[in-house]
Structures are given as structure tokens and as C-alpha cells.
Amino acid sequence: MSLRSYFTGPWTRFGLTVALTACALDQASKIYLLFVFDLAANGPVRLGPFIDIVLARNTGISYGLFQTQGPLGQWILLAFKAVAVLLLSVWLARAKDRLIALSLGLIIGGAAGNAIDRLAYGWVADFVFFHISTADWRFNWYVFNLADVAIVAGVIGLLYDSLVMDRAAKAP
């Protein structure tokens, strides 16, 4: 089986389309907020009582873990991401249904969107800030972007498929 035929199945094409769409939407939102709106100069924007648009330069991975300051750390994170995308692409090529292809496409697209930031800026642009405040309590969620939303949605899809779908009930 050739590499081309390996990645041309119906669910593979669908998953790759989802990945490209997720990556494009993520990059478009970041380009707009960084260069058109100029979030760095215009500061935080309150969208509602629980959500703001802010600029956070994330030099780590999800939720700001493993922060890196130098180029070596950035290249290590990029290499890790490249291996993950390659493995997810192989899984996508073997996808047997729409939910798996959709979920893997979202994860691949989100990972690619954040990898583009890391290559272009040396950090990932995060901007959605969810928070809840009362008189004596405050909850702040991590600042995130559309790529992170795609990755989380993809993981939820994979969990749903493995725990709820028909074959999960038939598993030993």
C-alpha cells in the first residue's frame, strides 16, 4: 500500500479537512487579535461578566505547563508536537467512522495551529480568559485559544467514542 493510498480513505479526507479548518480558524483569530485589533496595545477586552479577551504568551504546553524560555526548549516542544501529529495522522488513516475522524482532525488541527505560533513567535498566543467572581471567591481558568478548544473537543469525542458508543459496551 502506497503512502498516498494510505491517506486517501473517506474518513481520512474528512479528518484532514477538519484539521485544516480548525488550524485555519485558529490562525485567523490569532492574526486578527495580534495584528489587526492589536491586542497587545489595546489591552484586555471584556466580552461579558465571565469572559475577557487578553493576550497571554504561552511558552509552555497546555495550561502553561513546562514553560521554556530558550530556543532549545521550544524546539523540544515542537519535536514532541510533530511526533504526536504524526502518530495521530496514522490513527486518522485507520479511522473507521466519522466521530473518530472528526475528533482526530480537531486534535491535529489544534496542535498544528499552536505549532505555527511556536515557530512564528517562539510562544503560543492565548487570549480567551474565563473567570467567575463573587464577593468572597474568585475562579480563574487558564487563558486559552481556539486551537485549545479544538484539542479539548477532539479528546471529548474520543472519550465519548470509547466509553459510550456501541463497541464500548461490547468490550471485555
pLDDT digits (tens, 9 = 90+) for 117-128: 989 998 899 999
Assess whether pLDDT exceeds 90 at residue 69.
no
pLDDT for position 81: 85
Nearest one of 111, 98, 114, 112 to 157, comparing CA atoms: 98
Percent helix, strand and coil across the chain, each to the nearest 5: 65, 15, 25
Q: How many CB atoms lie within 10 A of CB 10?
A: 10
pTM of the model: 0.86
- Measured between alpha carbons, how far is 14 from 66 in angstroms, rounded to an integer? 33
Q: Does residue 8 carry a pLDDT above 80?
A: no
Catalytic residues: 126, 148
| pLDDT given at position 78 | 82
64 band by pLDDT with thresholds 50, 70 and 90: low
